[in-house]
Amino acid sequence: MKTIVLLLDSVNRHFLSTYGASGISTPNLDRLAERSVVFTNHWSGSLPCMPARRDMLTGRLGFLERNWGPIEPFDQTLPQMLRDNGIFSHISTDHYHYFKVGGENYCQQFDTWDFIRGQESDPWVSRVMKDEQPEGHLGKFVPQYALNRKEFRKEEDYSSPKTIKSAIRWLDSNHDASDFLLWVEAFDPHEPFDLPESYIEEYEDDYNGPSYYWPEYGQVNVPNGALKHIRKRYAALLTMTDRWVGKLFETMDRYAMWEDTMVIFTSDHGYMLGEHNFLAKNVMPAFNEIAHIPLMIHMPGDKYAGKRVDTLTQNIDLFPTLLEQFGLDVSRCRNRLHGKSLLPLIRGEVSSIRDCALYGYFGKNVNVTDGEYTYYRASYHDDNSPISLYTAMPTTIGHYYGMDHIIEPSRIEMGPFLKWTDFPVYKIPGNNVRMKDQTQSFHVNSEYIRQHLLFNIREDYSQNHPLHHEETEQRMIQLLRKALEEHDSPNEQYSRLGLV
């Protein structure tokens, strides 16, 4: 069986015509939707980028145990299981976080990998003297990216086009193999929203203010004209990425691969572009723009093309789906899976596979939806206690735990603390944990996530009108409590959330 997974980063599904958007050009993803089963109620799990990837590659939610981090030594990953059963896997990616401290062991799970340089703050172009921020520049300015972007002289030089070209070269060499997984992962449309001006002109952008291509995380802090400009830059970047996705599909056309190849398109999470007066992700509640993500699955031979699945699904379901598609026994997984195969839904054998989706960021709100309501549960305590981070790999984005970012290393314990594995892990007190790019530790609640929030997303999908309905909230609390148990939550989470 041949399978291609296409993962685009930070896709706000409300910009896709398949999910009701208008005025945004994504003809190739539209074409894929016509040949695919489209999932309309699909949710992320652990947020943001690397936690979501660990979920997809292991079939388990990780955010209840730890934050952004590597593949753990006790994780059983999808590429590992495929390799153990003689099935080859390859990843083409420009997601540079795989090669930073805190992103260890992901690409190395695949038989082969190709890493495309230059995205965001990837330390690619080497120059001792870096540029200063231009006068009047809006948003983030990263000197390393200012160097990298000088190498993007034409469209083909940008990282995502080069990533798709890498995948095409791989198909040129391997399309006639009988079994493989090709994981194609383009960083775009993740910020910075940088691309040739011709694409922005397609969206009739009349912005004439200072340079602005990289939003800052948090509340909107730019004039309305700049906000409109950044939304158009995002749409244009999505259009450019779609164009190169089309070249991948043309390669499949050339080799008649649609007949014997499964194609999965999805994202790790969405992105805020002014909704609720927020930009980006991480600091605000996990609104639908962030957690409700696209999923399309093309079955070989266009079988079930045009079908829409409206029942709840989640990113952790991809792992058992792919195992089953490759004919492997899901029950032989060493780790207890949280995900469930989507194939019975696609074939119409069952009407649902889960009664809720559980999602969130480590140390922040824990969120649950039953498809009708969403409920965001904030910490019960002002200091966000108690919470511990569990890991056998004490790294996170850009740094190690135990040195300059741990105040009291003597408080770190080690032992078989997790419910689902006997592998010894570090237990790091949450009030010792600080991300390199954050001034606050996890025991401090962000001002934006200190309230429980309840929404009826069938009647108020935009989540503009929080509900105060005791009976419904209690029902969602019980659903949350059950979900925590099913997902092997550490006991501290129950106390932290006031669910003891």
Minimal CA–CA distance to 215: which of 123, 141, 268? 141
Structural domain for 148, as ranges: 2-347
Based on the fold, state whether residues 323 and 372 are members of the same structural domain: no
Res 400: pLDDT: 85
* Cα distances (angstroms) measured from residue 276 to each of 225, 279, 298, 375: 17, 9, 34, 17
47 within 8 A of 286, measured Cβ to Cβ: yes
At 439 the pLDDT is 46
Q: Are 158 and 297 members of one domain?
A: yes
- Given 328, 347, 366, the domain boundary residue is 347
One DSSP character per residue, 32-99 reads HHHTSEEESSEE--EESHHHHHHHHHHTS--TTT-SS----TT---HHHHHHHTT-EEEEEE--GGGG
Query: How far is Cα 43 from Cα 47, in angstroms, rounded to an integer?
Result: 11
For residues 153-178, give the mean pLDDT. Answer: 97
Given a contact cutoff of 8 angstroms between Cβ atoms, the answer to whether 100 and 134 are in contact is: no
Tell how far CA 83 is from the center of its chain: 24
* pLDDT at position 431 over 80: no
Query: Are 148 and 159 contacting, i.e. CB atoms less than 8 angstroms apart?
Result: no
Residue 67 placed within a domain: yes
Strand-pair category, 395-396 with 399-400: antiparallel
Q: Which of 300, 352, 251 is nearest to 28 (CA)?
A: 251
Which residue from 193, 475, 182 is spatially nearest to 356, judged by alpha carbons? 475
CATH code, 295: 3.40.720.10
- State the average pLDDT for the chain: 94
Q: Prior bond to 189 cis, omega within 30?
A: yes
Mean pLDDT of 148-155: 96
> Which pLDDT does position 338 carry in this prediction?
98
Alpha-carbon distance of 131 to 129, in angstroms, equals 7
Q: Please report where in the chains the tokens 């309309």 appear, as a residue.
A: 40
Tens of pLDDT, residue by residue over 239-285, are 999 999 999 999 999 999 999 999 999 999 999 999 999 999 999 99
Is residue 351 exposed (0-12), middle (13-18) or buried (19+ Cβ within 10 Å)?
exposed
CB atoms within 10 A of CB 422: 9
Q: Is the residue at 127 inside a domain?
A: yes
Mean pLDDT to the nearest integer, 291-320: 98
Q: Which of 282-291, 309-318, 328-337 has the lowest mean pLDDT?
A: 328-337
Percent of the chain with pLDDT over 70: 96
**Domain end position, chosen among 347, 366, 393:** 347
Tokens of 64: 């209840």
**286 within a domain of the structure (yes/no):** yes
Same domain for 209 and 315, yes or no, is yes
Asked if residue 403 and residue 319 are part of one domain, the reply reads no
Q: Are residues 415 and 437 in the same domain?
A: yes
Residue 425 located in a structural domain: yes
The Cβ of residue 206 has, within 10 Å, a number of other Cβ atoms equal to: 9
Residue 230's region, left for phi above 0, alpha for psi from -120 to 50, else beta, is: alpha
Distance (Å, whole) CA 249 – CA 284: 36
- Residues 322, 414, single domain; the answer is no
Residues 429 and 296 in one domain: no
C-alpha distances out from residue 341 to 69, 174, 182, 309, Å: 25, 27, 19, 14
Cα 143–chain centre separation: 26
For residue 381, the model assigns a pLDDT of 84
Q: Are residues 135 and 34 in the same domain?
A: yes
Q: Express each pLDDT in 47-77 by its tens digit.
A: 999 999 999 999 999 999 999 999 999 999 9
The verdict on 212 and 78 lying in the same domain is yes
Q: What length is written for the chain?
A: 500
Domain assignment present for 120: yes
The pLDDT assigned to 442 comes to 53
Q: Considering just the CA atoms, what is the radius of gyration of the chain in Å?
A: 22
179-220, pLDDT tens digit by residue? Answer: 999 999 999 999 999 999 999 999 999 999 999 999 999 999
pTM of this prediction?
Answer: 0.96
Tell me which of 314, 347, 380 is where a domain ends.
Answer: 347
Angle between helices 49-58 and 318-325 (to 10 degrees): 40
Number of domains in the chain: 2
Q: Is residue 140 part of a domain?
A: yes
Are residue 58 and residue 152 in the same domain, yes or no? yes
Do 329 and 467 have their domain in common? no
Distance CA 140, CA 155 (A): 23
Same domain, 203 and 157: yes
Of the pLDDT bands very low, low, confident and very high (cuts 50, 70, 90), residue 401 is: confident
CB atoms within 10 A of CB 255: 14
In a domain, 352, yes or no: no
Residue of 64, 303, 281, 283 whose CA lies nearest to 189: 281
Which range, of 249-258, 291-300, 325-334, averages the lowest pLDDT? 325-334
Average pLDDT over residues 374-401: 90
Query: If pLDDT is split at 50, 70 and 90, which confidence band does 411 have?
Result: confident
